Chains A and B, each alone.
Chain A
Amino acid sequence: MRFMLVVKATKSSEAGIIPNQEHFDAMRKFNDELARAGALIAAQGLHPSSNAIRISYPEPGGKPKVVDGPFTEAKELIAGFTLIEVKSREEAIQWAMRMPDPHGFGEGEIELRQVYEVAEFTQDPEAIARETEMIERVKRKLT
């Protein structure tokens, strides 16, 4: 099963401050350990929200509303993520516990979230077939 270790944004990450060497090394060591355990799927850091956009749908069926960043409430933003593949929730927790404090300054926060498997959405073969067909239609339009 896959889990995502979501690193929350902080004032410093939002200000575009790159973590200092010490933190950088600690994170690299952690990713290295994950890779050597065959558990690492992906790990990425995100730019601050100042060059992000936000798309929302305030009206049902209405047009999307686009807002430029930066966004306030740093704690609700994401600064990066690490995707891992493990055997159990407990194993994922153990890995998450080993992730270094992502920002220092006592601001870091990591959220551990499980990634959905398709089978969890529905067991109904008809629904899966419908979903499949839908994705296929969308893809045909795109290509």
Chain B
Amino acid sequence: MEESAVHRTIDGIWRIESAKIIAALARIVRDVGIAEDLAQDALLIALERWTDEGIPENPGAWLMTTAKRRAFDHLRRSKVRDRKYEELGREIDSQQEPDWDEALDDPVGDDLLRLIFTTCHPVLSSEARVALTLRLLGGLTTEEIASAYLVPEPTVAQRIVRAKRTLTAVRVPFELPPKDELPARLSSVLEVIYLMFNEGYASSTGENWIRPVLCQEALRLGRILAEIAPDEPEVHGLVALMEIQSSRFRARVSPSGEPILLMDQNRALWDHLLIRRGLTAIERAERLGRAFGPYLIQASIAACHARAHTAAETDWVRISALYEALSQVAPSPVVELNRAVALSMAFGPEVGLEIVDALLQEPSMKNYHLLPSVRGDFLMKLGRKQEACLEFKRAATLSRNEKERDLLLRRASDCAAE
């Protein structure tokens, strides 16, 4: 094999193995930063050796063994150092010979879960959590993360270095959170993954075709999490939500690059394999028989749309009920606005208008263009054309998107004309 081909192959192997290796090492050395350095050392040795001697039969095991050997060397060195401290009169009563066997035999799943909880630790800023997770769990290079986030590479590199330093400085233990903290910590993990996904999803319209990488990576991490934490309904909920949203990728943009709204999308272009996977994930969560959290409810709403073969077949009554549930579990003005739309589709515009009118007092909605846009739509359907016209104009002044503004102004002039 020529050298670059070997390197590409090693890249592929690294992507499959790196998270597992870093997780296993972090358990031994109790520091994700050091674990990553040691894993990288093993990778460098592999690059050198495999280029000369060819790729071994079981490259994953080779990398793992080499990396663990480095980790034990590291431990021994720091033990020697500690012993010197001891001679200097320092107290070290907690130092024990590590249990090598135990360290070697740990099931991979638990280590990976610990790694996810560590990289998504709340002591880090959300940017740092995302960058570190992509790097340590996704096996992405700083360059890849930088190009996905459209920020300069040194910024990402800095973020990662600082994140690792923070974890060491505040002594974040490499362990699963205690039971009573688990739900709160898990929601931080889910948030990081969904943040990643949305970053890619929201910007996937238009010219930028790099960022779907973020969606795919988030989806992949979600799927990993669902396999290693299968008893958490919200994990399946998030995965289902991402699977179903990803299924619409091809249908979301017109050939000329304009965004296409859900109701207007060509459903034949949806990826039905992903929809099936999403629906299966919801079933997995349902089988756990616990209360639905916000991700599972949102996934169920997405599933209602996915199940409808045409926009007209949408089960708006069920969607209204799900939004009702969502507004109980995770209330927000945006959820209210969506609930209003669902209710209007199910029971008529006057029902929707009532909710939307209540939202007019909401300070956070003051400059949100969708509020007047939705309100205008309800008024229009109720035949209150003049009021509708004003709302559409107002929405147009608030919208930052040119194409959307055009559409709103067109609607405004439509009601004025009649």
Contacts and interface: CB of A to CB of B under 8 A. Distances in A.
A and B part of one assembly:
yes
A38 B222 contact: yes
A90 B9 contact: yes
B12 A36 contact: no
Contacts of B15: 86-88, 91
B16 to A, nearest CB: 6
B269 A135 contact: yes
A93 interface: yes
Contact of A136 (B221, B256, B268): B268
A118 interface: yes
Contacts of B223: 35, 38, 40
Given A36-B224, A128-B255, A94 B277 contact: no
B376 to A, nearest CB: 29
A126 B255 contact: yes
Chain A's interface size range is: 20 to 34
Contact of A88 (B11, B228, B250): B11
Contact of B12 (A90, A118, A128): A90
B220 interface: yes
A129 B11 contact: no
Contact of A143 (B250, B255, B277, B310): B310
26 contacts: A36-B224, A36-B227, A36-B228, A37-B220, A38-B219, A38-B220, A83-B273, A85-B220, A86-B15, A87-B12, A87-B15, A88-B11, A90-B12, A91-B11, A91-B12, A91-B16, A92-B12, A93-B9, A94-B9, A94-B12, A128-B255, A132-B255, A132-B266, A132-B268, A135-B269, A139-B268
Interface of B: 8-9, 11-13, 15-16, 59, 108-109, 112, 216, 219-224, 227-228, 250, 255-256, 266-269, 273, 277, 309-310
Interface of A: 32, 35-42, 83, 85-95, 118, 125-126, 128-129, 132, 135-136, 138-139, 143
